[in-house]
Amino acid sequence: MSTVLPDVVMAHLYCERGSARRAAMVAFLAQGWHMALFGTPLFAGKIYVRPDGQIRIITPDSYAEESAGPAPMLEAQSAELLDMLRAHYHKFSEAELQAFVATEICLMEPVFARISVLQRQLGEGVREISEQSLKARFMAKLDAGGALCTAPHVPEIDMLDILPASRL
């Protein structure tokens, strides 16, 4: 389990054009890529999603209480991955990014695909995304992109937007 707190990741992602909401969406994508590329979570915490693409990241109380010392910093490879993702998704408007994330969520959690647009707008269907399903989704994106994990461990830019119409 990672010892980096979600707040450290969110602070790294926050920029002039950004918002806390945008940072949470990119952190969600970064968590998936980090697990697929490095085999470990980027940050400690649970990710809760709504089918409309809204993300909430929560640090477990038990973890926050145990880590009374200074918050661990990001490793260089993690910071590099975050910088690349932030730069790449900066070109999306917040609405476009949310729609992209919503599609990813519905592909990972097929139950969300059956929720109507009205139910999505009303915020129904908050669900925790498991590390296993997030990692599996991004591993499938690596496979679909035909990438080999070689140094440096970062996905090709073209792979970031792979979004086939199936669960891969």
Domain-located, residue 1: no
Domain-located, residue 153: yes
Q: How many separate domains does the chain show?
A: 1
User: What is the per-residue pLDDT across 96-106, written as a single tens digit (0 to 9) for each?
Assistant: 999 999 888 88
User: What is the per-residue pLDDT across 25-39, written as a single tens digit (0 to 9) for each?
Assistant: 999 999 999 998 889
Beta strands at 46-49 and 127-129: parallel, antiparallel or unpaired:
antiparallel
pLDDT tens, position by position, for the chain (168 residues)? 567 888 888 888 875 556 888 899 999 999 999 998 889 999 988 898 888 888 999 887 665 555 556 667 888 888 888 888 888 888 889 999 999 998 888 888 766 555 555 555 555 577 888 899 899 888 888 777 665 444 445 555 555 665 544 443
Range of the domain at 24: 6-159
Domain-located, residue 133: yes
Write down the number of H helices and E strands in the chain: 8, 3
Q: Determine the pLDDT at residue 26.
A: 92
AA identity, residue 149: C
Start-end of H helices in 114-153: 117-121, 131-145
